Amino acid sequence: MSDPNFGCLCADPPWAFRNTRTRAAAENHYKTLEEHEIAAFTIHGYPVHQVMAENAHLYLWTTDSHLESALRVMRVWGFEPKQTIVWIKVSENGKVQIGLGNWYRHAHEICLFGTRGSALARVRDLPSVFWAPRGKHSSKPEQLQDWAEQLSPGPYIELFARRQRPNWYCFGDQVQGVLTGT
């Protein structure tokens, strides 16, 4: 295989929702995938667990309604759940930005952190929550990847990426799956 064994994976899967009637429905913005399609995702024909190093970290974005699915995908990909990281969405002036929701209005997103093997944290001073402005529909702040570079071993890969990032292999239908340099 020409791909390296990645030490860190960030993924923001396009989870399929049953509620497709709101203006914010994911299907109105991009192609979504069912849990089994995400779990079976391949990179150049290789299942996710085969391109990961023996000792690695995973950052898996999910929604509250897909939490159980995300935990199952995490395990299929070969990772053990460890904790959550929470992004608090704020406006440019720093106020909490409330979005849509069926019960409570969403003002945050969660990212599951998991490990494979014995990949240790390279730093121990990062909090489990961060505040960052909300961008385009479903786009995530780069602060998570900044933290991943500090805490997790490389090389780095992002699945379902929307943009290139230096020193990351960015793979998604909005980018061309290439390793970008510094």
Q: Which CATH architecture has domain 6-86+109-122+136-179?
A: 3-Layer(aba) Sandwich (3.40)
Three-class SS state of 68? helix
Question: Peptide bond before 155: cis, by omega within 30 degrees of 0?
Answer: yes
φ, ψ (nearest 5 deg) of residue 48: -50, -45
Whole-structure pTM value: 0.88
Least confident piece of the model among 6-20, 54-68, 141-155, 163-177: 163-177
Identify the three-state secondary structure at position 71. helix
What digits encode the pLDDT tens for the residues 109-158? 999 999 999 999 999 999 999 999 987 776 799 999 999 999 999 999 99
Q: Per-residue pLDDT averaged across 66-85, rounded?
A: 97
pLDDT at 176: 60
Average pLDDT score over residue span 65-69 = 94
Read off the pLDDT of residues 19-33 as tens digits, 9 standing for 90 and up: 555 554 445 445 778
Q: How many other CB atoms are found less than 10 A from the CB of residue 176? A: 10
Kindly tell me if the per-residue pLDDT of 181 is higher than 90. Answer: no
- What confidence tens digit (pLDDT) does each residue in 80-120 have? 999 999 999 998 888 999 888 778 888 999 999 999 999 99
Dist. CA 57–CA 119, nearest whole Å: 7
* Domain residue extents for the chain: 6-86+109-122+136-179
Give 41's DSSP letter. Answer: -
